[in-house]
Amino acid sequence: MARNRVAIVGAGMTKFVRRAQETAKELAWEAASKALESCEMTLDDIDAVVIGTAPEAFDGVHMKSEYLSDGCGGWGKPVIRGYVGGGTGVFAPIQGWYHVASGLFDTVLVVCEEKMSSCQPHPQGAFLTIFDHTTERPLGPNLLWIFALEMNAYMTRYGLSKRDIALVSVKNKRNAADHPAALLGDPNITVEDVLNSEVLAWPVQRLDVSPVTDGAVAVVMAAEHVARRVTNKPVWVEGVGWCLDTAYWTNRDLSYPTYVEEAARMAYKMAGITEPRKQIHIAEPYDPFDYKELHHLEGLLLFDKGKAPEATALGITQRDGDLPVCPSGGLLGVGNPIAAAGLMKVAELFWQLRGEAGARQVPGQPKRGVAQAWGDLMQVGTVIVLGV
């Protein structure tokens, strides 16, 4: 199948904060205009707009992307919203990619926004109704139950301790201390801090979890002939993949994300990657919870099943390790404005691969990275491979 080559040529983001005074539109505009500025483009140069944003309930606005559209640069343009829950932030650039790869458009502005602080008393309320209304909701489940059950299944399957997993939270929150947009960077956090934090639903504790966050991120995607004109450092989209597992969490192996593996295999095949452990230099897996980074690293085939914790303990996933993982600081450190958090990972790869990540720059001039997000009913994997 003939496809046009697509590059990311610009990126921008707001600071990730606990409660933004800005409206959702204003946040989206700030990120979108920064992304355009970063590649010296204007709205006139943009052919189409892709908007990624998670549940309506967060912002409390139905038809949320229509509401957001002017802040995303959508006035008078073809606009589409993609939505795969928490997986949206990596799915939006995939949509941007096929808008351009198909030849339909030369330039696409991809904007992801989330304002979770609107949702009262806690955004988790938005998830109380994701469960089956007949078999599950009468029990009063909430989102933490899923994570706690998954985390316990993962720990028990591979004989892992809480300490093994807490190392991820420590790494990412420390990495985030170098991110100017981060909400929860902490250069001094320790494993003991994580282990001593409040138990929410065992084994999940407060510092195992990413924070409620407001923020927006945008990237500009362009066809090769435009990309080469706009920048001498285009970051190419080499592969994309996404996959949904069953909606019944009672019919999934909760200790392994098969759907991430399927999505990764699709993306790797497109990118011509046969040995991901050698060919991927940076990974930004989705880390709303510390164990999820480990889970996803295994799903991305970067470590054997159950072996990502050992690699973390050995320092392999540190910024200066053999495979830097979440050099941005991830959702645990930078923050988790759902859709925006996923696109933040893509923006991080963009900056890292261009050597523009400042204090966060991983050494050794990385050439290829993978970003991944996860969501929907905890059963979607979205994967993008970028390279220079």
Partner 1 sequence: MSLLERVAHPDQTKAWYGEIPIQNRYTAGIAGERFFREIKDHGRFWGVRCPHCDLIYVPPRLYCERCFAQLEEWVEVPTTGRVHTFTVVHIDLDGNPLPEPRIVAFIQLDGTDGGLVHDLGEVDPEDVCIGMCVEAVFKDPAERRGSITDIRYFRPVG
Binding site for partner 1 (CB under 8 A): 20-23, 25-26, 29, 32-33, 36, 42-43, 57, 59-60, 70-71, 73, 75-76, 117-121, 125-126, 128-129, 133-134, 137-138
**Least separation, in Å, of the C-beta of 61 and partner 1?**
8
User: Which long-range contacts does 364-367 make (Cβ < 8 Å, 24+ apart)?
Assistant: 364/281, 366/281, 366/282, 366/324, 367/281
CB within 8 Å of 231: residues ≥ 6 apart? 7, 9, 10, 39
Partnered with residue 373 across adjacent β-strands are 382
Least distance to partner 1, CB of residue 122, Å: 10
Q: Cβ 47 to partner 1, closest distance in Å?
A: 15
Instruction: Specify whether the CB–CB gap between 249 and 136 falls below 8 A.
Output: no
Q: Can you tell me the distance from the alpha carbon of 351 to that of 9, in angstroms, rounded to the nearest whole number?
A: 10
Q: Are 372 and 264 in contact (CB under 8 A)?
A: yes
| Residue closer to partner 1, measured from CB, 57 or 146 | 57
Residue closer to partner 1 (CB basis): 134 or 251: 134
Nearest to partner 1 of 52, 123 (CB atom):
123
> Closer to partner 1 at the Cβ: 4 or 23?
23
State which residue, 12 or 239, has the beta carbon closest to partner 1. 12
From the CB of 123, what's the least distance to partner 1, in Å? 9
Q: What are phi and psi of 110, to 5 degrees?
A: -110, 120
Q: Which of 276, 209, 210 is nearest to 241 (CA)?
A: 276
Residue 244 · residue 376 · CB < 8 Å: yes
> How many Å apart are CA 302 and CA 221, to the nearest integer?
27
CB-CB contact of 8 with 223 (8 Å): no
Q: Which is nearer to partner 1, 24 or 353 (CB)?
A: 24
Instruction: Give how far Cα 22 sits from Cα of 126, 214, 331, Å.
Output: 21, 9, 21
Nearer to partner 1, 129 or 365 (CB): 129
